[in-house]
Amino acid sequence: MTTEPTVGLLTVPWRWSRRHLFQSPGSSVLTLLAAWLLWKVLPSAVNWALVKAVWSGDPAACRASGGACWAFVTEKYRLILFGIYPYDEQWRPLTAIVVFVVMMLASAHPSCWRRWLIWMWAGGLVLVGILMWGGVPGLPYVSNDRWGGLPLTLILSATGIVLSFPLALLLALGRRSRLPAVRAASVAYIELWRGVPLVSVLFMASIMFPLFLPEGITVDKLLRAQAGIILFTAAYLAENVRGGLQAIARGQFEAADALGLSYWQKTRLIILPQALRLVIPPLVGQFITTFKDTSLVVIIGLYDLLSSTKMALSDPQWRAFYIEGYVVAALIYTVFTAAMSYYSQYLERRLDRDRRRS
Amino acid sequence: MKYFLSAAAVCLTAAVSLPAQAGQTFDAVKARGTVTCGVHTGLGGFGAPDAKGEWAGLDVDVCRAVAAAVFGDAKKVRYVPLSAQQRLTALQSGEIDLLSRNTTWTMSRDTASGLLFTAVNFYDGQGFLVNKKLGVKGAKDLNGATVCVQTGTTTELNLADFARANKIELKPVTIENFEEAANAFVSGRCDAMTSDGSQLAAIRANQTPNPDDYVILPERISKEPLATAVRQGDDQWFNIVKWTFQAMIEAEERGVTSANVDDMTKSSDPNVQRLLGVTAGMGKGLGVDDKWAYNIIKQVGNYGESFERNVGHGSKLKLDRGLNALWTRGGMMYAIPVR
């Protein structure tokens, strides 16, 4: 027997909180603990970040207020975002950021997963290259040792992800190959690169590698770092892809063989589409990791977003306000990584729906 | 196969131990048309990009002066920002032509690392910054004091050595991040802060509520002669970089500045005439134009100007000349005669 409870003003929030916050004694304790923490932390954080904050002005004004000194960011935001890219040309890296965001959005929707996507990325990366380097009429040449900030982070991570992916597919397939030499080479590659931290890869690329070259011959610093990131990421991605390959039922392989498909046809049409769908969460996880790991290039003197923030802080007048600088850098990183992980959740839901329908 | 292996071995040997011919670096610089200069990734006053991304600083001025001497144009520099770990390798491998990056001149770097230091452009040393309220006159009065220090640096080791040598007890408060250490000191968590003198002066001028309440104690517990370095094997290039800096000090000694350098070419002082290329011949020995020093002074300025602009009282660091004053004013800067 169910009696309809009287619906008062508080009934809905009451029910909602009963279900979500106080369902069991354990969750009640956690809720109260979280509320206590917020009560302790939030007022002073809001006070610091908003109420007492200084939005523009000089360091003396910041010191006087005792709040967050967003004036530092107002003053230095172009240095943080674009590093030492020539000041008057900074619309170019800004356009490059827009190009990247558009390409990422276009790649996001499954209805766009067509062959033209590959061409779009190829064309987009060339366009970014032209924008950043210049050297064509109307765009003065800018050497890549002046690139920095957010565009550099995006270039390193997007190029790293895009170029490591094909390599990862080959490695994953190679590791499951029936040919012993191919299998051994793939295993050796993957284990070698996974056995080394990215920091040491970058160190090797930037410090040891030049010593092996004849004097006077140097390979560009950015290129060395980019190559290191691609080769490193490929090893991790390959293992993710292999996980997907192993989850495919044997019947799928046999059915494909029975249809008389060649190895490459079978792989491209039957196996990979299913395998990749299974491993979307770890793939996105790896993409996020790669995006964040690019900040390690700080040790080889490249100005990614984090190091350009650090550089902006080298001004002795503003040096005391490092927290504000790092908070802003963290926010920018969070926007990108949060977008990636929400997208991954959306994609899983959508692909699940597809599967249920079939 | 055997042939291939021995060929490979020959190539490898050639690659790692290629004897540097005289003039190799200088020839490469001239062919390229720019000087590739290794600088700090960001150290205010010494080497850091300004708000517009243009490099400026005391170390950067050395790069600009070398370009002015070689090409007559101080802008012909390509800057390569380097981390502390990279800097020596970048020079050894030929990625840069000279290193002007807050680097301490030591014997092992001069010998084992294959480098040659040309000249000290800043004499620094580790010291202590204290609040005047503490009432200490010297570092040895700091017995029992808490000292803010950045972790993982030689600064920390020097502090321990100093305490042991003087049989006093110092309580180091080690903090990973330099800015955080400075903030901790200013907010009163430690009695003293230790770091290089130039850094302490920067904290005093910019981060304390009232700089006059703070004092840098007179003792220096380490020697940090910060110098410019080139790769071994090109004596001519070594000379150019060495004399570029000498010209900047000589100009200050003779009172030649970027403002009056054109008038000074009419000077009757033979020393000034030689420096500014009025008397022909001084550039020939270096392999550069006779106007080499004129170009340096005109475009970059003499050492005193560079100092005031970047780290002195005309800058945010507000350092005193101290050891970096001319020898005639009680400092260590002593120009070798240009003759």
| Residues from chain B contacting residue A303 (CB–CB below 8 Å) | 41, 81
CATH number at residue A328: 1.10.3720.10
Average pLDDT of the segment spanning B114-140: 93
Q: State how far the alpha carbon of B233 is from the alpha carbons of B21, B25, B238, in Å.
A: 7, 8, 9
- pLDDT for residue B73: 96
The reply to whether A157 touches chain B by the CB within 8 Å rule is no
Q: Which residue of A has its CA nearest to B186?
A: A320
- Say whether pLDDT at A354 is over 80: no
Is A52 inside any structural domain? no
Which CATH number is correct for B126-222, 3.40.470.10, 3.40.50.12140, 3.40.50.2000, 3.40.190.10? Answer: 3.40.190.10
Give the pLDDT band (50/70/90) at residue A350: confident
| Distance to chain A for B272, nearest Cα, Å | 37
Q: Indicate yes or no: CB of B53 within 8 angstroms of CB of A87.
A: yes
Is A47 inside any structural domain? no
Is A290 inside any structural domain? yes
- Say whether pLDDT at A1 is over 70: no
* Residue A33 CB burial class (10 angstroms; 0-12, 13-18, ≥19): exposed
Give the pLDDT band (50/70/90) at residue A356: low
Q: Which residue of A has its CA nearest to B13?
A: A214
| Residues from chain B contacting residue A212 (CB–CB below 8 Å) | 15-16
Q: Indicate yes or no: CB of B81 within 8 angstroms of CB of A300.
A: no
Q: Is the ipTM of this complex over 0.95?
A: no
The reply to whether A311 touches chain B by the CB within 8 Å rule is yes
List Cβ neighbours of A198 (8 Å cut-off, separation of 6 or more). A228, A229, A232, A293, A296
Q: Which of A139-153, B132-146, B290-304 has the highest mean pLDDT?
A: B290-304
The total of structural domains in chain A comes to: 1
Best of A319, A321, A322, A326 to disrupt the B interface by mutation (most B CBs within 10 Å)? A319
- pLDDT for residue A61: 86
Average pLDDT of the segment spanning B254-277: 95
Domain boundaries, chain B: 20-124+225-329, 126-222
- Say whether pLDDT at A320 is over 90: no
- pLDDT for residue A5: 56
Determine how β-strand B126-131 pairs with β-strand B192-196.
Answer: antiparallel
**Rg over CA atoms, chain A:** 26
Tokens of A124: 């987009």
Is A38 inside any structural domain? no
Are residues A26 and A45 in contact, defined by beta-carbon separation less than 8 angstroms?
A: no
| Residues from chain A contacting residue B28 (CB–CB below 8 Å) | 216
Give the pLDDT band (50/70/90) at residue A128: very high
Q: CA B17 to CA B232: how far, in whole Å?
A: 13
Average pLDDT of the segment spanning B206-233: 91
Average pLDDT of the segment spanning A299-319: 86
Is A17 inside any structural domain? no
Is A102 inside any structural domain? yes
Shared fold status for B20-124+225-329 and B126-222: yes
- Say whether pLDDT at B14 is over 50: no
Q: CA B336 to CA B326: how far, in whole Å?
A: 12
Which residue range(s) make up the domain with A299? Answer: 59-357
The angle, 0 to 180 degrees and rounded to 10, between the axes of the packed helices B235-253 and B292-299 is: 60
Q: What is the pTM of this model?
A: 0.81
- Say whether pLDDT at A312 is over 70: yes
| DSSP state, residue A42 | H
Other beta carbons within 10 Å of A137: 6
Q: Indicate yes or no: CB of A311 within 8 angstroms of CB of B78.
A: no
| Distance to chain A for B116, nearest Cα, Å | 17
Q: CA B45 to CA B24: how far, in whole Å?
A: 32
Give the pLDDT band (50/70/90) at residue A6: low
Average pLDDT of the segment spanning B241-246: 97
Determine how β-strand B126-131 pairs with β-strand B98-104.
Answer: unpaired
CATH 3.40.190.10 corresponds to the domain B20-124+225-329: yes
Is A5 inside any structural domain? no
Average pLDDT of the segment spanning B35-59: 90
How do residues A241-289 score in pLDDT, each as one tens digit? Answer: 999 999 999 999 999 999 999 999 999 888 998 898 888 888 988 999 9
Average pLDDT of the segment spanning B74-90: 89
End-to-end CA distance of chain A: 40
- pLDDT for residue A23: 83
Q: CA B57 to CA B63: how far, in whole Å?
A: 10
Tell me the three state secondary structure of residue B269: coil
Is A103 inside any structural domain? yes
State the count of interchain CB pairs (< 8 A) between A and B: 117
- pLDDT for residue A352: 74
- pLDDT for residue B43: 87
- Which region among A66-75, A234-243, B252-261 has the lowest average model confidence (pLDDT)? A66-75
Give the pLDDT band (50/70/90) at residue A207: confident
For tokens 């992800």, name the residue: A161
Give the pLDDT band (50/70/90) at residue A233: very high
